[in-house]
Structure 1
């Protein structure tokens, strides 16, 4: 498809209603490299997130034009865009590395009619100074995976970057074999990462750290301005939001897969969906990522990794926390040391909701632990077990007839009777905290294979429809609640880079 002059004018001018104000691009140049996406041969939109486009205040009619593919591919830059590749560092599997956007370009920051600010980034848009011998491109399946999983997370009520569109490029990329290329348009409250602070600290210039910290406060935490120690409060705020985020992951059985410091967003959003997946059978040691050979980022280890990553953030902020190094270190250690307690508080709140517990009792921790232990020992499906408990009557199956489960169930029912509320209230609470549907791995893989290998997006769209309302009992999506057969189980996922 060729871009004609009329379509180019429509897309570049304000027909789409972009409103860019690029504050990050006004930071010192060492935080990024200025460059444009590399045009692709024949872009075509395969998915457009109409609901997200509307929430951003964009003109859907203009985006539905076939020529919008050139916009989402980076062949045409919208007016007001100031494309950059961001610089950052990161600890990858515990080892420090200088990184940066090796296959992504930040077009700029779109400000919605409501005044909200979002980064608009093209992922898979070509080589940058940070590509490190990579081709800067992306294959279709990983971009569709990010679209599906990020939208599922949003529907589940978990803070996340989102996906506005996926375009195929008309070109192929080499990843052991030739695969169809694609570009994803990612929307985020920002792309400031723990790794961005590590990069600033690597400049060995306190001013660089202060500039980034001040910018982060101004953009994300303006209520901290003019406080006595805004940098300590910034650290505390990020610690709190990350503890809450990780708990939300665990409550729905989500495994991020690559919790490197460059994949931890300062804004508290889930970012960078690579070999991520949702558990079927409950097992705390669940690992999906093909590159996580030692289980560093396994399901149950995600809280400890979050604390480790936050400690790396605290190290970068030491020069700002206090003029006295000893005092700065003490403040940082106290802040990081509080993480387990904050995390545990959020976890107990979330687990009580999953079990319909509106009050607090000392036995609750043991009650929760006993259920999880039973689930692990009996290979119970994590999502379906909690959803079954949300029903008035348990399904008639062998697992729930187990003597050990019946004993636990009796104790749980006794615990519920000590709440001064109608019987329906706990069930209502549970149904809004125990999803009926998650993007199960075998469903995701089937959809990706059909799209990538055969150009058939039917399963992708069906899956997106199913996960759009995960807490509702919609009979037309009952099949998406079924766990995989043994032959369908997905044991490994891949980064796709």
Structure 2
């Protein structure tokens, strides 16, 4: 007999000002699309039970498990740079939190029905977007980028209208906390300082206890919190830029207080390197273009700083905490890029080398992931033409190469060690749009084999997986026609 998960509801301790208790809305004829054994093991859940009718009902929201206390939280936020007022969990319901080897983890059902915060929405998610979030959160985890994770995806034949009629799905996503910048903005905007303090104390005591003992900012724990969140966010965005990840909708309500990548909607990994790439079809102004993500993250942190100001007190302290971003982000990005180049010790001229490399890739629209992987193989000993052939203008590569070679050691043993490190840094596999699209098309026909195959390679993206060589190649011509928007 499978033991019942031991649920706790830490977030509910904040009280009714922060959420509405409600039951998920059941879906007819639910079925399992995919269950993630790694996350199931982390949470102590039996995979066979998860795939059983009882498990499918539980994580579709058809049955509330004993001890679970489902709720939807309220928050506000800036969307595309404009204050949007009250938002909240419009289609996500938090079941509670479970123990794990990595500390307690919250489990949230996305697509589980209407809540008081749904506004004009229907409270549902569709199979297409649920598969994308499920696969991408695990892809990011495999790449070592801080992220929410996903336990499973379930589907239902219930129709859902988006640009066209699709079918409903629920993704069970997992994180230590789903608190966002927008939670703080909500109470600050309403002048509810007591609730703002209660939320900040909850986050500090649960996730940033070091802020209580910090002697920075005259011992003010709320300024220390802002600094800690700033540093985590800066490091996360640096990793986004290093793997060529476009979030697509960096609203303040989509920013995690723990510095996790959250809310996978119109995301994309770059194919050809285009710094100005806009992955979100709805982003007509290009606010969330790839090369704007670092500045947008800082803007969002500034909004968080404004929300925390009633607790911080001194504006200069808030500004000083935010200044952390301007040192952490460039430091972390340089470290990531040097690792991609196989360079372990920063030297004078490295910044120029990194900039020249990115300019080379941008000018030739070179495939970002394939370039770095082939460069790793070149350092290992492969022919230079395996990299040179990636460029529309090979002479540009020829002009760049001596600067890079000058930075590498001369002996073969050292080069072999560098290449091995590069192959553990530069992935062979990413979740390209066309790969997700193929998996989604098959899933609509109840064939989930491609979802499972992708999950396996994305969870270990640095491995070779010779049986899946086709997933590491260039995107087909039709991939450029795929449009992704905020609709999900």
TM range (shorter): over 0.9
Match of 1:436 in 2: 428
Alignment of 1:336-485 (within 5 A): 336-391=322-377, 392-393=381-382, 394-396=384-386, 398-399=389-390, 402-417=394-409, 422-452=414-444, 454-485=445-476
| Structure 1 residue 404, shift from structure 2 partner | 2.4
Match of 1:495 in 2: 486
User: What is the distance in 2 between the residues matched to 1:158 and 1:244?
Assistant: 9
Match of 1:102 in 2: 90
SS at match of 2:414: coil
Counterpart of 1:221 (choices 182, 186, 208) is: 208
**Alpha carbons of structure 1 residues 425 and 36: separation in structure 2 relative to 1, 3 Å:** same
The answer to which of 418-427 and 378-387 deviates more is 418-427
User: What is the distance in 1 between the residues matched to 2:411 and 2:311?
Assistant: 48
User: What is the distance in 2 between the residues matched to 1:488 and 1:424?
Assistant: 35
Match of 1:325 in 2: none
The answer to which of 362-371 and 57-66 deviates more is 57-66
The answer to whether residue 226 in structure 2 is matched with residue 247 in structure 1 is no
| Structure 1 residue 421, shift from structure 2 partner | 7.5
Gaps of 5+ in 2: none
SS at match of 1:216: helix
Retained in 1: the 8 A contact 2:35–2:47? no
The answer to which of 222-231 and 144-153 deviates more is 222-231
Kindly provide the CA deviation profile for residues 177-206 of structure 1, in whole angstroms up to 9, marking residues without a partner as x. Answer: 221111111111111000011012123121
User: What is the distance in 2 between the residues matched to 1:278 and 1:348?
Assistant: 20
Match of 1:238 in 2: 229
The answer to whether residue 62 in structure 2 is matched with residue 70 in structure 1 is no
| Structure 1 residue 491, shift from structure 2 partner | 4.9
User: What is the distance in 2 between the residues matched to 1:168 and 1:217?
Assistant: 37
User: What is the distance in 1 between the residues matched to 2:16 and 2:113?
Assistant: 20
Counterpart of 1:162 (choices 144, 149, 158) is: 149
Retained in 2: the 8 A contact 1:290–1:492? yes
RMSD: 1.8
Match of 1:304 in 2: 295
Provide the TM-score with structure 1 as the length reference. Answer: 0.92
Kindly provide the CA deviation profile for residues 359-417 of structure 1, in whole angstroms up to 9, marking residues without a partner as x. Answer: 11111111111111111111210001111110122344534682221231111111112
User: What is the distance in 1 between the residues matched to 2:3 and 2:112?
Assistant: 20
Provide the TM-score with structure 2 as the length reference. Answer: 0.94
**Number of residues paired by the alignment?**
477
The answer to which of 224-233 and 441-450 deviates more is 224-233
Gaps of 5+ in 1: 1-9, 323-327
Match of 2:180 in 1: 193
